[in-house]
Structure 1
Amino acid sequence: MAAGQNRYSCMKDEYMKELVVISGKGGTGKTSLTAAFAVLAGRSVIADCDVDAADLHLVLSPRIVERHEFRSGHGAVILQSDCIGCGVCRRWCRFDAVNMEKNDRGETVFSIDPASCEGCGVCVRFCPVQVIDFPQRLCGEWMVSETRCGTMVHARLGVAAENSGKLVSTVRGEARRIAGEQGQGLILVDGPPGIGCPVIASLSGASAVLVITEPTVSGEHDLERVLSLARHFAISASVCVNKWDLNREMTERIEAGAIQAGAKTVGRIRYDSSVTQAQIQGKAVVELDAPSADDIRQVWNNLDL
């Protein structure tokens, strides 16, 4: 099977654990926590599945050893030299992706707007002279790198590109393949925020999920949605409240709700400006003498991986 196309949903190696760190929204500290876990683990395989806005590399400083194109979906392209200008493609398109304009000779010319094309293929099907090409789209790239904490698989989705869920699956599949080859027992996944397709792709088949949230009303609401998703996939879920000391009452309410939802609470992380300083230095917070470092170590130990 080609690299990147492995199926992590196949039968798992008994020794291999896969922890996915997610949050209901961005900015809760998910990536900082994953980077800290990578340092504490000593050696693991790391997968950055936040492909729409990957930033784990800013802390782990990966040295890229492999680059691979990510192609997914199709886009229509009209072969101008053979087009008869009938406009059938424009009449059939339901996404207003076919542009019509006049060239220098006053002739009507049709073209496809790649940003509007949904890749449905209707124009290809109904073109009377079959002059619409339908190539696969280049949607981004995925990479394999070496870091001080182990091998890292990460990716970059192209501007306005789709199929981020498929790219997440590619990253996870490659991480599992590498972990198997290296005999690594742990895969750490920095998952995307939210509950959409990329999150589903990062969760399905995982061993455990850690949800990091904030002591706010929106944090409480987002946590409920993410835990519901974890229950759907029957994945053991743990919860950690970041910046808990900013609202102690809300923290207690969130933890009580998490327990009631069947999740395990594994600790609290205090508000700490040292996290920002660590990011500026390109380090995980546990690599500094920071107040929150002990909190994170406690969370890591409570996960019992």
Structure 2
Amino acid sequence: MIRLAVVSGKGGTGKTMVAAALADISGMPQVLADCDVDAANLEFLFHPRRLTTEEFRGLAAARIDPERCRDCGICADHCRFGAIVRNDAWEVDALHCEGCAVCTYVCPVGAVSMKPRLCGEIYTSATDRGNLAHARLFPGSGNSGLLVTEVKKRAMRLADGADLLLADGPPGIGCPLIASISGMDAVLIVTEPGVSALHDLERLVTVCRRFGVRIFAAINRFDLAGDICARIEGYCEREEIVVAGKIPFDTSVVDAVRNGRPVTQGDSAAGDALRALKNTLFAELGLS
């Protein structure tokens, strides 16, 4: 099984659009994973039928036992995040707690402990294009990298008989991205002809190189700035990165997203370009 992650150096490049198109036209047994847990959108294009729902408990938060607390306030004095507040008794505002556990060390009577907090939910679902592992991170919650790892674990459990694991990864180069590309065979970086996008592409390639994955690129809306598109192609040539495809600006993409479907489910210039991209990419990966 080939494990492929579709990623981007910045948000708004069309990464999920490309991932959904590849999933729509792959033509092979596959399992899907939406690793962009901070803004999971793949489900909106495939209308999944929920199979399982699990709680995700990530970063621990402090909790004060009112029976043991002696009302000294030492924990509040040492909390640099202002998470310990006084109401009828000393309490922890979990939204502000950063999980540093300093309060547990300074409490003279051991009234403060760390408890895992509910940070989100993990789902497995069925779609017309294969099973999907996805998740939702609750607002204000952290540890999205850990949640991405859990999503990938669920995807692997669903991968029996699949020839392709296709993951829609997060933008950027942070912990969620690292969790997404770890253990993958290849990444497809979706970029666009902009100065900031080129800069972020370079940073993302530097990170991906450290994980030994094969790197491919796709340039979305390539015809909006020919000079910068040429710079991106020149960079990829110097780095020996195959540009698997270039997708033109096409309002059909917006129409498809608004109607909750991959753009490849209709006739359009962008759809044709994505089909050509898929053929080039899959040939490079040895997928029939």
Q: Same fold (TM over 0.5)?
A: yes
Distance in 2 (alpha carbons) for counterparts of 1:61 and 1:275: 18
Match of 2:37 in 1: 51
Maintained 8 Å contact 1:227/1:261: no
Point out where structure 1 has 5 or more consecutive residues left out of the alignment.
1-15, 104-108
Q: Deviations over 1:108-131 (max 9, x none)?
A: x32212122111222123322222
Matched, 1:125 2:105: yes
Q: Structure 1, residues 272-303: CA drift from partner, whole Å, max 9, x if none?
A: 10011111221111101112111001111111
Shift of residue 81, structure 1, vs aligned partner: 4.0
For residues 169-188 of structure 1, what are the structure 2 equivalents within 5 Å?
Answer: 169-179=149-159, 182-188=160-166
Percent identical pairs in the alignment equals: 44
Q: Verify the 8 A CA contact 2:78 2:103 in the aligned structure 1.
A: yes
**Corresponding pairs, count:** 282
The more displaced of 23-32 and 258-267 is 258-267
Residue in 1 aligned with 2:20?
Answer: 35
Separation (CA, whole Å) in 2 of partners of 1:208 and 1:172: 15
Match among 238, 243, 263 for residue 265 of structure 1: 243
Aligned: 1:71 with 2:71: no
Name the TM-score, length of structure 2 as normaliser: 0.94
| Pick aligned residue for 2:254 from 271, 276, 280 | 276
Query: What is the rounded CA distance, in whole Å, between the counterparts of 2:140 and 2:102 in structure 1?
Result: 21
Indicate the SS of the match to 1:238. Answer: strand
* Structure 2 partner of 1:18: 3
RMSD value, Cα: 1.3
1:293 equivalent among 246, 254, 271:
271
Which residues of 2 match residues 1-305 of structure 1 at below 5 A?
A: 16-42=1-27, 43-101=29-87, 103=88, 109-179=89-159, 182-303=160-281, 304=283, 305=285
> What is the CA deviation profile of residues 41-89 of structure 1, one whole-angstrom value per residue up to 9, with x for unaligned ones?
1331000000001111110111111001101121111123442101121
Q: Shift of the alpha carbon at 1:190?
A: 0.2
Distance in 2 (alpha carbons) for counterparts of 1:50 and 1:26? 11
Kept after mapping to 1: 8 A contact 2:126/2:132: yes
Secondary structure of the corresponding residue to residue 120 of structure 2: strand
Tell me how far 1:94 sits from its aligned partner: 3.0
Single out whichever of 254-263 and 156-165 deviates more from structure 2: 254-263
Give the C-alpha shift of residue 95 in structure 1. 2.6
Which amino acid is 1:150 matched to? G
Moved over 4 A (4+): none
- Give TM-score scaled by structure 1 length: 0.89
Q: Is the 8 A contact 1:227 1:263 kept in 2?
A: no
Structure 2: where are the runs of 5+ without partners?
A: none
